[in-house]
Copies of this chain bind each other. A is one copy, B any other.
Amino acid sequence: MAEYTAPLRDMQFVINELIGMPRMQQLAGFDEVSADLSDAVLEEAAKLATEVLSPLNRVGDTVGCRLEGDVVHTPPGWREAYQAFCEGGWNGLAMNPEFGGQGLPKVVATAVGEMWDSANMAFGLCPLLTGGAIEAIEQHGDDNLRATYLAKLIAGTWTGTMNLTEPQAGSDLSTVRSRAVPEGDHYLISGQKIFITYGEHDMTDNIVHLVLARLPDAPEGTRGISLFAVPKFLVNADGTLGHRNDLRCVSIEHKLGIHGSPTAVMSYGDNGGAVGYLVGEANKGLMHMFTMMNAARHAVGREGVAIAERAYQKALQHARERVQGQVPGAGPRATIIEHPDVKRMLMTMKCQIEAMRALSYLCALEYDTAELDADAERRARAERRGDLLTPIVKAWCTETGAELASIGVQVHGGMGFIEETGAAQFFRDARITPIYEGTTGIQAGDLVGRKTLRDSGHAMRELIADMRATVANMQNLDGTAAQVRDALAVAVDYLEVVVGWLCGAASDPRLPASAAVSYLKLAGLVCGGWMMAQAAARSAAQLAGGDDFYRAKLAAAGFYAAQILPQAGALADIIVKGSAAVAELDTALL
């Protein structure tokens, strides 16, 4: 089976040429970050991804995880791979150097994370969740918690989890029932949590669970939820492991995909209560959790890019090898890549992967800027932009990623449906991404409510202005780049009309909610077009060098403009004229 090749030059193009190394270097602490450094990190990561993680992807799918007594056995070879992963220092790539992290830009970590996810998405989920726990403890934990847990989590010696969901509390966490009773310097936690990614596994000696629960006197609803750190093994004052805590994995789920990633049902406090430590302020757990959820949402969007890239590589290789049918001008026996519709499918994958990749890296740069820029106004603006882009990256990249993984199956014809081919695994794995860390509907609600209506469209109009600036900067171009520019200009108009309509429609709250997912798709589509326009402008300027790389970039941008971006008009129509059909629908008629 085809293995994964890291698309290093594509990644470097985005980091070094498109969203811009200069923007990164001006941030505090990144003055020594250079294209050379970034390239070297990417190349080193590519080795681990292609040589260690990718070869374990299939065994993860076919063997999966197994709960035996108290132990969840990860697939053969995964323990060793995780050890190599930690020994390489990869877990702490963009983490705080104070606790052993390497303090590299999130943009670089995003590219590296894309490699883990392309190589082996089920494996990549483990550090993804650990990253969430690190962020929660770093931002909200007290000194003691930070001292006890951060270095171990950042090194990857211990892993972390996020325990939000309960059977009755999924997208709506206001109904969380797990309890936390104060006892001395800690709390006793009890309750059941479901869908806990890497809730139990055999790759590390300890696991630190971040758990949402309610204090005895907590108010009802979302304002009565607190966040706790609940380690599998208690930690002694000297940092060694102490008693087993009162928590256990009850079962692991039998899932459509990501079989290598154990999804646990966790039970806390069966024997009196699991020892937990309050993270941040009491009753502000949901707010604290949202900090880490933003990063996790961005990371899941990246999974969408990654799984589509892997599916694309597989489909491309098949299309270059499989001989079938005749194509005028391609000799008597053509490889299927010569068939116009196969070309169409492959470029439909490639151009959207490039658009999504650029947007997800840009979003990471906004996070870095929001944190590290010397200028308060630039920080605020970057935070607005990152907050605006996060639900788009999460939902658009995952919905599109799942679609592209399906096209990957289609390129294989009948072989695509045979599990041994491997294309089907990407199709199955991809399907979780528009669901977990907040479904597409939840992201769209966030985009339309918190990110658009709440500021009367200000952040979105700022983004639209930047897109128009890109169009203006491209005025002197011709050929394909000019076509991309013009297509973007049309699409931006549609987006602006929709934003105006949304802000005007706010008096009937059912309309924005009814339009939300289409609005999110429109925003993703147009953001993608914006990225591709910039790629086209850059590539047009580099064409004279005769490098096929830039020819390919320009072709991808032209294809995006011609075959993908025209959906903007339809989405605008569906939103402006069609949302009433959703809002007014009597559910009795379903």
Report which A residues bind B (CB closer than 8 A). Answer: 165, 168, 170-172, 194-195, 253-257, 316, 319, 323-326, 328, 337-347, 350, 402, 406, 409-410, 413-414, 416-420, 424, 427-428, 431-432, 434-436, 439-441, 444-445, 509-510, 513-514, 516-517, 548, 551-552, 555-556, 558-559, 561-563, 566-570, 573-574, 577-578, 580-583, 585-590
Contact = CB atoms under 8 A, between A and B. Distances in A.
SS class of chain A's interface: helix, strand, loop or mixed?
helix
Contact of A339 (B409, B417, B441): B441
Given A410-B440, A559-B581, 15 more contacts: A170-B324, A171-B324, A194-B414, A256-B417, A256-B428, A328-B509, A341-B513, A402-B406, A409-B431, A428-B428, A552-B590, A555-B585, A562-B574, A563-B574, A566-B577
A587 B417 contact: no
A23 to B, nearest CB: 29
A340 B417 contact: no
B566 A570 contact: yes
Contacts of A516: 340-341
A340 B582 contact: yes
6 contacts: A253-B418, A341-B441, A341-B444, A406-B406, A562-B580, A563-B578
B555 A589 contact: yes
A343 B515 CA distance: 12
Contacts of A581: 347, 558-559, 561-563
A170 B414 contact: yes
A561 B574 CA distance: 9
A292 to B, nearest CB: 18
A80 B311 CA distance: 41
Which of the listed residues A195, A431, A548, A568 has the most CB atoms from chain B within 10 Å of its own CB?
A: A431
A580 B581 CA distance: 36
Contacts of A420: 254
Contact of A171 (B325, B418, B580): B325
Contact of A435 (B413, B436, B551): B413
A172 B326 contact: yes
A292 B339 CA distance: 26
Nearest to A315: B590
A344 B256 contact: no
A298 to B, nearest CB: 20
B316 A427 contact: no
Nearest to A554: B589
B577 A562 contact: yes
A438 to B, nearest CB: 10
A336 to B, nearest CB: 8
A309 to B, nearest CB: 13
Given A402-B406, A441-B339, A344 B419 contact: no
Contacts of A590: 316, 319, 337, 343, 346-347, 350, 552
A376 to B, nearest CB: 36
